[in-house]
Each structure stands twice: as C-alpha cells, then as structure tokens.
C-alpha cells in the first residue's frame, strides 16, 4: 500500500493505515527517515480491535498517540490506570450541567487499551476529536433551532459514534457486499473472531464506502479538528504517531490531507461554552444499545468475555453459563456443557463461521443447558450477555464536593453502588439504618433516585424497604445540584428552601415537601417550608386543595414522633387546615355530577384516614379534631341535595364511627320506590365502598339491598348494572361468596317454611278461618 506525504509539513511524514497487525509500517517513497503516522481504524468497544491495537502499538512503539475523544480530557489520561472500567468521560457546562456528554470506555475498548499502553510506556496520549466546548455548544444551538424540549437529563454520544451523520450504515453496506444479512455477524467474523485485525483492509473498505461521500457540517468539523491535532503533533517533532479512531474516519486522515487553511476555515467561528470534564463510573447495562446509548453494543458481557478469554472462549463461556444456572438451582451437568460446546462448534461450521459467535452459543445453551426454557435463557442474557459490571473511579478523580461527600457517606454507611437492583430492609430503630434512610431520602429530594422506596414487608412505621440501583446519570445529577451545597444534607436542605420559596409550588406539593424534610431529617429547612405552607394554606380557597394536602401533613406530624424529629408548628397548621375543611365541605358537596362526586369522595376518604391518625383527645381543648370532623359529616349527611355516592359514603363512615343508629332507615329511604334507580345504585356504591362484610353481618341491610334489586324492572336493572358490578366487584372473593350464601340461605329458608306445613294439623285451623269468613261449606 502506498502512502502520501502530508502537504505543508516539513519532512513529508508518511500517513498510512498499516497492514495486518504485526506487519511492517509503510513509509512514503523518497521520504525515508521522515515522521510516520499510523492510523488504526477500529470499532468502538471491539475486543478483537482492542487486542490488535495493543499489539500494533507494541510493534510500532510510537512516541505519541492520538485518540478520538475530547481534548479537554488530556489531563485526565494519567488517572486511567487507577480506574476500573467501564468508566466514561463526562463533559458538562458549569452552571448549566443539564447539557452534558459521555464518552464511555470498557476494558475491551481499543481506545482504552491505547490509553493504558501509552501511560505504561510513558508515551504522550492526547485526544483529537472536536473539543467538548464546541460539541456541547453545537448541541445547544441545534436544539434551539429545532425548538425541541429536551429531557431533564439528556445524555448524548458526542464524538463516539463512527457512523454519525451517515446516510447509510457502512458496516451494513460491507456486510451486504460480502453476502451477510447481519452486519454484526459479518464484523465478528472478519474482525472480532480473528487473531488479528486487518487495518489495511478496513481502511481500503472504508475508502470504497466513502467514495463520493460529502460529510455533513458536524462531521466535517470533527474530521477537520482531527487533522489539525495531527498537524500540531507533527509540528512538535514527534516522529512516530499512532492515531486510533473509528474506522469511518480513516480515509479522512490517511489520504492527501487538505491544506491547513481549508480546515481552519471549517473550524472558524464555532460556538463555544466552558466545559469541564471528569471520569465517572459506567455500567454494562448503559453500554448496551437497548439502554438508549446510541453507539452502544448489544452484548457487552460477551465482548468482555472474548477480550478476557482469547483461548477457548466458547468452552469457557458455556461453562460459566452452566455455573450461573446452577446458582439458580437448575441441574446442569458437565455432560450438558460438553454437548453444548459440540453443538455450538457444529453450528458455526455449518454456517461457515471461523468461530462460534454469540448466536451459536446462545442456541446451544438454549437447546442443551436450558432444555428450551426461555426464562433460563433470559437469565444468561441478563447476567452474562449484558452483565452487571459497574466501573469505579478513585478518590483522585476530579469531583464536585457533593460527589465526594456522597462517596464518603457510602463508605460510612456500607452502601456500595451496584448496577443491578438490590433490595434492602431498614429498621429505623437502628442508628445505622436510620442514617441510611436519611441519606436516601435526601438524595431523592436532590433528584438522585438511587433508591426507590417500596412497600415494607414488616409491620409498623419503623421499617422501610428500598430497591437500590446506581445509574451513571446520578453523577450528572449531583454535579447539577453542586451549587446548592458541599454536602448532601446541606444541598437537600437548600433544595427544600428553594422549592418552598417558589410561588408555583402547589399546596399539596408543599405538604409533601414537609414530609420529605422530616423523612430526610432536615430540621434546618423545616421552618421556612412550614412558613410557606402556612401562608399558602391561608390563601387557598379551594377546599379540595386543602383536603389533598392534609394527609401528608398528618403523616409528617406522625413522622416527627416516630423518628424523633422535632415537628413544632405542624399541629397548629394541621388543626387550622382541618377547621377550614370542615367549614368549606358543605359548600363543596353542592351540585356535583358523577365525576366530581367520585373525585371528592377520594378526598373525603383520605381526610377520614388522616383524622384517624390524630390524637382523639384535643390536649385539653373542648373538641378534638376527630369529633369536629364527624360533626361536620353528620351535618352534611342530613342534607337532601347530596349526590347519592357522597351521601352513602358519609352514612357508612358515621356508622363505622358509631355516630349513627338509623343507618338501616336511611338505606331504606335511599332505595325506596320514589328514588331514581341510578341514584339508589350510587348510594349503595358509596355505602359499600368500605367493604362488603357489613352485608354479611347485618341481615336487615342485606334484605334491603336484595329487596331493592329484585324490585327493579328489567330496563332499570340494566341501567344500574355497571354501578353494581363496580361496587360488588371491589369486594374480596370471600366477601362476595359469603354474601351469596346469605342470600341463598334466606331464599331457601322461605321456601322451606312453605314446604314444611303439616296439612293434617292445619286442617282444623283452616276450617275455623273459613267459618269466620262465612265459607264453611267451601
């Protein structure tokens, strides 16, 4: 392969794509002794490419290495040997970190192996792609032009997708030309499963695919900057330069390079922002393409295996798969492994592949190890093909104080970040578990959803169940909130204050914020939040808003007791809100349609449950909160203009509270023939919403409902049937069964009484009755 000197560079360096790994570098004719540039075209995250790049660098022994990536990360290269991949370079804009970009690296990424080689050999390693300062600014400009609303945490793949800006997939085009219908399988056969990587062949193939292709503006800028960085390295006097980049860019760096003035013109006037970069942990789940990472791979765990086990990879993979299945209690023997290996190799031979790929080993595992069980195959897919690996960064990595504080607390509380879901149960009576709960609630307030709070399996308010899963975006969220404070507790408190000071925060949101402050143990923020809540509650005239807010306030008051957190001022606000609810409820129940009545009913039930948590004794006051609430309900329930759903529910609440002794009479009136059937059905729905056991234990109420139903005409029954189905469908199965047995036994009992009459003994009484009626002869 011939090479051409770079125009305008003293010494005429040879710029080429070297031959097969292990072969000689090619120098330009007539410029012997000049600097040599070797461009190694790779696939990002390719294990075969990674091994070949490492071997080629060891053969070339370059004195400078250029890698596709943001140049601002050059000072971070020296930290790489101390990191545990997968990791990613994170670029963000200080003060506006919602705009960010990630450049992920795995152990099997060719760029990562080049970095490790360069740091070990003492060779300068530089990144040569468009700076993050420009790419982030360009992204912002594109979004403004499109007028798009970005997600809160957008993750971009700036400079990491070798097919960016293409009208067609080059790998797909080459695979089709080779007769493959699967580009991934073609790349694995010709690159990843070989003992070497034919860099020269890849360069020629990419040149053929790019023939006549004009890059778009963004790609043209990227490649222009790569050439500028290459020229700068040559000007500094480096003699042997290795460039590691996506295979697609090789033709732009190996042919006759355009004049520097042309590239400078392309790069002139680029938008720019201030960008900061650091290393952050990454996960194989985020590296997989299904996770939303644009330039990802579908099988990072498989590629990690290929890179770490170059000898007998199929045998080792299937043996590990068998171990995974055994850990789940599935019986897998050595004979299963042997047969699955034979099947995988046989499938590869029949398909003309140099080595069994992921498709073959998966089919072999499905047929032999899993015996056709798709769930077992999915287990192998999740645990091995994708993997649960989470990278680690060292304390020397640049971090904002908020990140460093969280890292220290994770160590102190023994909460290690993990890529897969991990469930933990916390007993809040234990100091360690209480501190863990405080940390997780504080992070939630900051938008770092490391833990999701679920339903506790234990009883009481002293237990919490959390599901933990660390995602790379959490580091970005911490950076975004870094301006709020240097510690997690301080930042969470300031976040609560900021939310409380916002006029747009609704009353219900403020009450939830009070609850969060207590759960997160943020007493320093509570006074301001309570003041904002009191002011908002005093001005809010919508009683439904107050009803929606009260339950959270009552829970917050209880948490102040359970967790030992001071909740001064809460009781006064709770009583004030309840008093305003009691005053406004009679107006709120007027003139409701079906939907409005259903919505109000939910608020009534929520307030009823909240009031039950309050002290029954008002602490020396004449009227307790519970009594005040029940008096209000009693007064409202006596009105004649209520919606049937509301009236029925209020009667049931008062009955359960022991405040009514005429519930049967009220039901009889509600279901009398003078009432519209639809209203009667709504009344029954509201009354029975608390459960159906009342009908089982009160024969009179059951008889009233049964008599009303049997008295409906066919058309009326059809009209109310949806309401009845909704009502009785909400009962538990044992309740429905018990009600049915009661109705059946009542009906059969009536029939039995008629059938058990002794006609011989009754004859005398019948004769007497007939004589009285003057029908003795009859």
Establish if 107 belongs to a structural domain: yes
Residue pair 132/101 in contact by the 8 Å Cβ criterion: yes
Same domain, 162 and 262: yes
| Cα–Cα distance, 773 to 757 (Å, whole number) | 22
Sheet holding 276-281, edge to edge: 100-105, 87-92, 276-281
Say how far apart CA 323 and CA 655 lie, in whole Å: 61
Q: Write the DSSP assignment of 109-158 as a string of letters.
A: -HHHHHHHHHHHHT--EEE-S--HHHHHHHHHHHHHHHT----TT--B-T
**pLDDT at residue 9 in the model:** 36
Number of domains the chain is built from: 3
- The domain boundary, picked from 420, 448, 483, lies at 483
My answer on whether 272 and 369 are in the same domain is no
* DSSP 3-state of 461: coil
Q: What is the mean pLDDT of each run of 10 residues along the chain (778 residues)?
A: 32 46 34 78 86 92 95 95 92 75 91 96 95 84 46 33 47 77 75 70 85 88 95 94 92 88 93 90 73 58 87 91 92 93 93 85 94 91 86 88 91 89 89 93 93 71 86 84 87 92 82 86 86 79 82 72 57 80 87 88 88 62 78 88 87 83 80 78 79 71 75 76 75 77 66 59 80 70
Write down the pLDDT at residue 731: 73
Q: Containing domain of residue 39, as a range?
A: 4-282
- Determine contact, residues 625/671, Cβ cutoff 8 Å: no
Q: What is the gyration radius of the CA atoms in the chain, in angstroms?
A: 38
Q: Which of 453, 483, 513 is the last residue of a domain?
A: 483
DSSP sequence for 265-286:
HHHTT------EEEEEE-BHHH
- Give the distance, in angstroms, between the CA of residue 13 and the centroid of all CA atoms in the same chain: 51
**Looking at 351, 386, 421, which one is the last position of a domain?**
386
* CA dihedral sign, ordered 316, 318, 320, 326: negative
CA distance 439 to 488: 8
E-strand stretches of 384-536: 422-427, 451-454, 463-468
The answer to whether 21 and 52 have CB atoms below 8 angstroms apart is: yes
> Residue 255 CB: number of other CB atoms within 10 A?
14
pLDDT of residue 163: 36
Token output for 659: 């405040």
Give the count of beta carbons closer than 10 Å to the beta carbon of residue 698.
15
- Across the strands, what pairs with 700? none
Cα-Cα-Cα-Cα dihedral sign, residues 633, 635, 640, 641: negative
Angle at 136 between CA 134 and CA 138, to 5 degrees: 65
Domain shared by 255 and 316, yes or no: no
Do 120 and 57 share a structural domain? yes
Q: 363 with 238, same domain?
A: no
pTM above 0.75, yes or no: no
Q: How far is CA 197 from CA 21, 191, 425, in A?
A: 6, 6, 50
Residue 396 lies in a domain: no
CA 232 to CA 35: how far, in whole Å?
A: 13
Q: How far apart are CA 224 and CA 376, in angstroms?
A: 49
Residue 316: inside a domain: yes
Q: Residue 464, SS3?
A: strand
At residue 191, φ and ψ (nearest 5 deg) are: -125, -65
In a domain, 425, yes or no: yes
Q: Tell me, rounded to whole angstroms, the distance of Cα 274 from its chain centroid.
A: 30
Cα separation of 15 and 765, whole Å?
Answer: 125
Tell whether 301 is covered by a domain.
no
> 337 and 241 in one domain?
no
pLDDT, residue 579, reads: 84
Q: Which 3 state secondary structure label does DSSP give 198?
A: coil
Identify the pLDDT of residue 1.
30
Strand partners, 454: 465
- The number of CA neighbours under 13 Å toward the Cβ of 228 is 18
DSSP letter at 367? I
Instruction: Look at residue 578 and tell me if it is in a domain.
Output: no
Q: 121 and 38, same structural domain?
A: yes
The answer to whether residues 368 and 442 belong to one domain is no
Say if strands 4-5 and 64-67 run parallel, antiparallel, or are unpaired. unpaired
35 and 173 inside one domain: yes
Q: How far is CA 414 from CA 410, 417, 439, 450, in A?
A: 6, 10, 12, 15
Give a yes or no: residue 209 inside a domain. Answer: yes
pLDDT of residue 319: 94
Q: Which residues contact 160 (CB under 8 A, 6 or more apart)?
A: 44, 68, 69, 103, 104, 295
If asked whether residues 406 and 359 sit together in one domain, one would say no
The tokens for 644 are: 């049937």
Residue 452 has phi, psi (to 5 degrees) of -110, 120
Q: Are 331 and 216 part of one and the same domain?
A: no
**Residue 462, CA distances (Å) to 250, 436, 520, 570, 615 in order:** 62, 13, 14, 21, 19
Instruction: Identify whether residues 414 and 374 lie together within a single domain.
Output: no
CB distance 356 to 347 below 8 Å: yes
Contact 513, 441 (CB under 8 A): no
Q: How far apart are CA 76 and CA 735, in angstroms?
A: 67
pLDDT at 98: 62
Q: 572 lies in a domain? A: no
- For residues 625 and 569, the answer to whether their CB atoms sit within 8 Å is no
CB hemisphere CA count around 389 (13 angstroms): 23
């Amino acid at each position: 392969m011939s090479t051409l000197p770079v125009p305008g560079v003293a010494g005429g360096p040879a710029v080429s794509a070297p031959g097969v790994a292990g072969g000689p570098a090619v120098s330009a004719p007539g410029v012997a002794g000049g600097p040599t540039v070797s461009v190694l075209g790779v696939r990002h995250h390719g294990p075969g490419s990674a091994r070949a790049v490492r071997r080629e660098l060891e053969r070339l022994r370059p004195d400078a290495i250029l890698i596709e990536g943001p140049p601002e990360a050059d000072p971070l290269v020296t930290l790489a040997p101390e990191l545990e991949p997968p990791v990613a370079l994170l670029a963000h804009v200080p003060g506006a970190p919602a705009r960010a970009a990630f450049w992920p690296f795995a152990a099997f990424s060719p760029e990562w192996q080049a970095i490790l080689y360069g740091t070990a050999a003492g060779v300068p390693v530089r990144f040569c792609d468009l700076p993050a300062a420009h790419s982030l600014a360009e992204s912002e400009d594109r979004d403004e032009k499109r007028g798009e609303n970005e997600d809160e945490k957008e993750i971009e793949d700036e400079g990491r997708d070798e097919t960016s800006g293409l009208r067609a997939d080059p790998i797909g085009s080459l695979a089709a030309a080779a007769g493959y219908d699967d580009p991934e399988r073609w790349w694995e056969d010709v690159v990843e499963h070989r003992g070497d990587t034919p860099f020269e062949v890849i360069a020629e193939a990419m040149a053929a695919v790019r023939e006549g292709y004009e890059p778009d503006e963004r790609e043209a800028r990227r490649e222009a900057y790569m050439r500028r960085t290459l020229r700068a390295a040559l000007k500094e006097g480096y003699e042997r330069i290795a460039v590691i980049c996506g295979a697609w860019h090789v033709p732009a760096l190996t042919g006759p390079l355009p004049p520097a003035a042309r590239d400078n013109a392309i790069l002139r006037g680029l938008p720019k922002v201030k960008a900061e970069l650091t290393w952050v942990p990454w996960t194989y789940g985020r590296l997989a393409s299904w996770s939303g990472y644009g330039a990802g791979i579908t099988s990072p765990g498989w590629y990690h295996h290929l890179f770490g086990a170059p000898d007998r990879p199929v045998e080792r993979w299937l043996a590990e798969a068998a171990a995974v299945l055994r850990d789940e209690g599935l019986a897998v023997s050595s004979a299963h492994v042997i047969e699955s290996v034979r099947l995988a190799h046989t499938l590869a031979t029949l398909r003309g592949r140099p080595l069994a790929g992921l498709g073959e080993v998966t089919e072999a595992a499905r047929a032999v190890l899993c015996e056709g069980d798709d769930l077992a195959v999915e287990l192998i897919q999740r645990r091995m093909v994708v993997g649960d690996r989470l990278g680690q960064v060292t304390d020397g990595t640049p971090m904002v104080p908020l990140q460093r504080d969280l890292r220290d607390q994770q160590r102190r509380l023994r909460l290690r970040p993990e890529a897969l879901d991990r469930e933990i149960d916390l007993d809040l009576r234990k100091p360690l578990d209480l501190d863990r709960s405080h940390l997780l609630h504080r992070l939630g307030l900051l938008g770092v959803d490391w833990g999701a709070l679920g339903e506790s399996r234990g009883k009481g308010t002293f237990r919490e169940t959390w599901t933990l899963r660390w995602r790379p975006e959490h580091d970005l969220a911490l950076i975004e909130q870094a301006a709020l404070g240097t510690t997690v507790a301080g930042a969470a408190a300031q976040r609560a204050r900021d939310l409380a000071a916002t006029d747009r925060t609704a009353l219900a949101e403020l009450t939830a914020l009070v609850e969060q402050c207590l759960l997160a143990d943020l007493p320093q923020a509570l006074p301001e939040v309570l003041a904002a809540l009191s002011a908002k509650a005093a001005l809010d005239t919508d009683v439904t808003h107050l009803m929606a807010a009260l339950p959270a306030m009552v829970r917050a008051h209880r948490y102040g007791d359970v967790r030992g957190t001071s909740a001064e001022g809460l009781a006064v606000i709770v009583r004030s809100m309840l008093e305003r609810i009691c005053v406004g409820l009679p107006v709120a129940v007027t003139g409701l349609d079906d939907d409005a009545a259903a919505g109000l009913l939910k608020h009534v039930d929520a307030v009823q449950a909240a009031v039950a948590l309050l002290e029954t004794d008002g602490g020396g006051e004449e009227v307790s909160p519970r009594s005040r609430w029940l008096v209000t309900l009693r007064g409202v329930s006596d009105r004649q203009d209520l919606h049937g759903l509301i009236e029925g529910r209020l009667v049931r609440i008062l009955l359960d509270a022991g405040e009514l002794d005429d519930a049967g009479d009220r039901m009889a009136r509600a279901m009398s023939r003078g009432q519209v059937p639809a209203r009667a059905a709504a009344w029954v729905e509201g009354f029975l919403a608390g459960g159906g056991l009342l009908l089982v234990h009160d024969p009179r109420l059951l008889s009233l409902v049964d008599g009303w139903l049997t008295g409906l005409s066919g058309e009326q029954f059809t009209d109310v049937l949806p309401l009845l189905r909704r009502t009785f469908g909400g009962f538990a199965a044992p309740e429905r069964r018990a009600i049915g047995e009661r109705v059946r036994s009542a009906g059969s009992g009536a029939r039995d009484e008629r059938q058990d009459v002794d006609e011989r003994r009754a004859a005398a009484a019948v004769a007497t009755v007939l004589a009285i009626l003057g029908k003795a002869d009859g």
